[in-house]
Amino acid sequence: MKDSIICEGAHIEADLVQNSILGPRTVIKQGALIKNTYVIGNDFYSPPVQNSKIPDKLQIGENCIIDHAIIDKHVCLGKGVQLVNKKKLTHYNSEHVYIRDGIIIVSRGANIPDGFIL
């Protein structure tokens, strides 16, 4: 943890969290690298029983790399997701992931699959 704010109830196993804010009940798995990012967090932890309206795991998965991003509430990022804007885009639109002025935005309730790279 370097120069970051971690809110109550966060469960962090990440390798690095730098220049970031992690909101309440944020869950980040092992191997993740989070830099220059605001993770808004969750209103609750993942339920023990899967509900079709709530993703199985409200978390940032193992070995994710996130840089210059805003991650809204109740987001599930699969294993190995990379949100780093490799192409240095200033504008991008998809169903749940956007780029505005070079900043990656993941919308509320998004479920990003394993291995997604942007």
Domain of 91, in residue numbers: 5-112
Q: Tens digits of per-residue pLDDT, 89-112?
A: 999 999 999 999 999 999 999 999
Amino acid at site 90 = T
Write out the two tokens for 44: 């609750």
CATH number at residue 66: 2.160.10.10
* 65 falls within a domain: yes
Statement: residue 50 has pLDDT above 90: no
Residues 38, 63: Cα–Cα separation, whole Å: 18
Query: Do 18 and 34 touch, CB atoms closer than 8 A?
Result: yes
Average pLDDT of the chain is: 93
Picking from 49, 19, 51, the residue whose alpha carbon sits closest to that of residue 35 is 19
